[in-house]
Amino acid sequence: MNQYLSISPEVQEALQAGKPVVALESTIISHGMPYPQNVETALRVEQTIRDNGAVPATIAILGGKLKAGCTAEEIEYLGKKGTEITKASRRDLPVLLARGADGATTVTTTMIIAAMAGIRVFATGGIGGVHRGAQQTFDISADLEELAQTPVMVICAGAKSILDLGLTLEYLETKGVPVIGYRTDELPAFYTRHSGFRVDYRIDSPEELAAAFRAKTDCGLKGGMLVTNPIPEQYSMPEDVINAAIRQALAEADKKGVHGKQCTPFLLAKVKELTGGDSLEANIRLVLNNARLAALTATALSEL
């Protein structure tokens, strides 16, 4: 067993018994939403997974340990500390572990820790991708590289609409990552159901998602699988409203020189401000929707 890995008793028992387990990230708690909504949402997401037959495993770095399965008290701690906790990507892990520090896991680090623990399905809000203007900045999320090498199915509401979605799909194609639309032929764009870009394949049931992932791993094919699950229709935001807010947020980020790991939290906070909080409600609803699908898929995968 990895000396840095700490699996909660509940998650360990489920894994040993072959029960379905769903990984959850912690950056959405510490950097994605304000307190106390972040903690309330994290606990609702865990309960949604339980209600649909699986065991939740919220993942974080606490005291220099890679935690697969956080307690309610640990989730409260992450929520209260908020942005004081390091947003931890792959490059941050060695120093945080050596220092015995805390870290909120991104999509990248959640995939890494989930794979170490033997968890195959992960639910999140949206993945990172190729940023707008990346031709000049080379700003490309580490999430895409992780999807190319780590064998975890990531269920999300698409790439965040603050990104260049066309280039993100091109990058994933180059890396051989299957991009699946759940009951849709079109890539959802996080806050909205439509982007104008097509996914690689449409799949209409958790059972077929599980079968496709099982076939991929059985063949020894490297990397994960990206499942894009559109935000429910009633919570989808008007495309013109969200796109106008994103354009304004991007202009302000450029003016203030915001870049790197601070870029996404800044843009999401600004979009929330510009939409009067509607984007936060949309964010919560899409995460709950992804958690439900992840639990059903993990259950189907455990039965294969």
Q: Cite the active site residues.
A: 25, 160
| Interatomic CA distance for residues 71 and 30, integer angstroms | 15
Cα–Cα distances in angstroms (integers) from residue 299 to residues 49, 170, 183, 203, 279, in the given order: 10, 31, 19, 17, 30
Radius of gyration in angstroms for the set of CA atoms belonging to the chain, rounded to a whole number: 18
3-state secondary structure of 22: strand
Q: How many CB atoms lie within 10 A of CB 72?
A: 12
Question: For residue 295, how far is the Cα from the chain centroid?
Answer: 14
Give burial (CB, 10 Å; 0-12/13-18/19+) of 236. buried
Looking at the chain, how many residues does it have?
A: 304
Closest of 293, 285, 297, 295 to residue 41, by C-alpha:
285
Q: Which residues of 196-235 are buried (b: 16+ CB within 10 A; e: fewer)?
A: ebebeeebeebbbbbebbeebeeeeeebbbbbbbbbeeeb
Q: Which helix (H) or strand (E) holds 88?
A: strand 86-88
